[in-house]
Amino acid sequence: MKKTPLFERHLLANARMAPFAGYDMPISYKGINEEHHAVRNNTGLFDVSHMGEFIVKGKEALLLVNELTSNDASVLAQGDIQYSCFPNDTGGIIDDLLVYRLFEDQCSEGEQAFMLVVNASNIEKDFNWVKNHNHFDTRLIDISEKTALLALQGPKAIQLLQELTDIDLAKIKYYTFKKGTVAGIHNVVISATGYTGAGGFELYVEDHNALALWDILVERGQKYDLQLAGLGCRDTLRLEMGYCLYGNDIDDTTSPLEAGLGWITKLDKARFTQKEYLLHQKEKGLSRKLVAFILEDRRVPRHDYPILNLNGEVVGKVTSGTMSPSLNYPIGMGYIDLAEAKIGNNIQISMGNKSLPGKIVKLPFWNKKNDGN
C-alpha cells in the first residue's frame, strides 16, 4: 500500500484511514458531516497527493494532447486549465482529467508544455495510453511520485492563502493557475480548481516540501476555522455539485455524451480518438443518459441499485448516492433509459423487497442559494 508524503500527519490527527486507489488515505478526521460543513462554510484542507501528474513537452505536444483528449486544448493560453477526458477505442472513457497549459519559459524555442492531472487509480493505465499513442516530437514524463497535491477548499481559502503569498489570488480566475512562492516555498503551482464546488485552490508542490506547506496551512488556518478534510466529505461535496466520479459515474463503458459531458467533447475538432464513434452516437441518438435524482425516504441509494419506472420496470441503475449534508435528504445519480430521463419524472429506487419513491431533478443539487431542485 502506497503512502503520501503526509501520511504521518494523518495518523497524528487521528484520521480514519482506508485503502483508496492503492494508497492508504484519510477518509475522515472528526466526521464526514462536520468536515463537509467546514468546507462549505469556512475552509478545509485535503491531501490529494495520490493523484497522477504527467508532463507533455515538445514541439508537437499540443498535437498529442489534442488527439487523445475530447476537449480542444488549442484554445488554452499559458496559465489556463481545461477539464477533459480520454475517450477509448469504443467511445467509452479511459479517464477524466485536467489539462494545464504550462508556461513555456523553461522550454526550448518552439516547444509547448502541458501537465495532465489524472485519477490515482488510472495512473499506469493513462500513462501507457498516452505513451503508446505518442507518435509526435514530444516527451512524456510521469512526475506523480515527485509531486504532492494539497486542496485548500472553501469560501475562506482565499483569505488564508493570501497571507502566505505575494501573488494576487483574486487575479487567478476559475480554471487558471500561477506559479510562485507560498509560505517561503518556491515553485508552487496555485490552481483555482477543486472538486467541491466551494471555491478555493489546489496547490502542487514538490513532495519534499509537502509537510512544511501542510503544517503552516494548518497553523495559520486556525483563525479561519480550518478543518482537515478526508475523502469521505470530498465525495459528498462533489456529489452535491453533480461532479462525476471515475469508476462510479463514468468508466470505460460510458460515453461522455451519455454522461452529460458533451460540453467537453468537441466533435468539431479536426481529429481525436474515436471522434467518428461519438459522432455516430450523437447522430443515431442516445439510448440512456446520466441523471440526478432525490428520494423522499431517508435511506441512501447505493451504487448499482436498480432504478424503476412507476410500472415497476427496470429502466436504469444508480451510480452514486449519499445523504446530502447540506440538504439533509438523499441524493444520487444514475444512468436511465432516455425515454424516462426527463426532469421532474417520478422514479423508484429498488432496495431489495422495497422500492423508494424519487424524482429526477436538475444539477447541481446544491448551490449558494441552497436551492437543490
The answer to whether position 164 is within a domain reads yes
Task: Judge whether 260 lies within some domain.
Answer: no
d(CA 79, CA 40): 27
Question: How far is residue 217's CA from residue 77's CA, in Å, rounded to a whole number?
Answer: 30
Q: Is residue 246 part of a domain?
A: no
Bridge pairing between strands 355-361 and 346-350: antiparallel
CATH of the domain at 28: 3.30.1360.120
Per-residue pLDDT of 42-99, as tens digits, reads 999 999 999 999 999 999 999 999 999 999 999 999 999 999 999 998 889 999 999 9
Distance CA 334, CA 373 (A): 17
Residues 192 and 298 in one domain: no
Residue 372 in this model has a pLDDT that exceeds 60: no
- Identify whether residues 41 and 163 lie together within a single domain: yes
Is the pLDDT reported for residue 121 higher than 90? yes
Domain boundary among 240, 271, 302: 240
Based on the domain organization, do 229 and 300 belong to the same domain? no
Considering the domain architecture, whether residues 335 and 212 belong to the same structural domain is answered as no
Is 321 a domain residue?
Answer: yes
Share of the chain above pLDDT 70, in %: 98
Based on the fold, state whether residues 155 and 43 are members of the same structural domain.
Answer: yes
Amino acid at 315: V
Give me 170's grid cell.
483574486
Mean pLDDT score, 216-237: 98
User: If pLDDT is split at 50, 70 and 90, which confidence band does 370 have?
Assistant: low
Kindly state whether residues 221 and 298 are assigned to the same domain: no
- In this predicted structure, the answer to whether residue 268 has a pLDDT above a threshold of 50 is yes
Q: Please name the residues in contact with 210: beta carbons below 8 A apart, sequence gap of 6 or more.
A: 4, 5, 6, 49, 148, 150
**Which residue, among 160, 193, 334, has the nearest Cα to 259 in the 3D structure?**
334
What is the pLDDT averaged over residues 178-197? Answer: 97
Number of domains comprising the chain: 2
Four-point Cα dihedral 248, 253, 256, 259, nearest 10: -40
| 225-259: b (≥16 Cβ within 10 Å) or e | ebbbbbbbbbbbbbbbbbbbbbebbbbeebbbbbb
Answer yes or no: do 300 and 216 share one domain. no
One domain for residues 184 and 333: no
Give yes or no: residues 300 and 372 share one domain: yes
pLDDT > 50? residue 371:
no
CA dihedral sign, ordered 311, 315, 317, 320: negative
Q: Which of 204, 224, 240 is the last residue of a domain?
A: 240
pLDDT of residue 76: 98
What mean pLDDT is predicted for residues 276-285?
A: 90
In a domain, 331, yes or no: yes
* Of residues 285, 369, 360, 288, the one with CA closest to residue 327: 369
Residue 273 CA neighbour count, 13 Å, CB half: 25
| Domain finish residue from 210, 240, 270 | 240
What's the confidence (pLDDT) of residue 373?
A: 38
251 inside domain: no
Residues 236 and 309 grouped into a single domain: no
Q: Are residues 224 and 340 in the same domain?
A: no
Task: Assess whether 35 and 155 both reside in one domain.
Answer: yes
- Give the domain extent around 350: 287-373
CATH of the domain at 372: 2.40.30.110
Q: What was the pLDDT predicted at 368?
A: 65
What confidence score (pLDDT) does residue 352 get?
A: 85
Using a cut of 0.75, tell me whether the model's pTM lies above it: yes
pLDDT at 129: 97
**54 is a domain residue:** no
Question: Look-up: residue for cell 425515454?
Answer: 339
Residue 269 lies in a domain: no
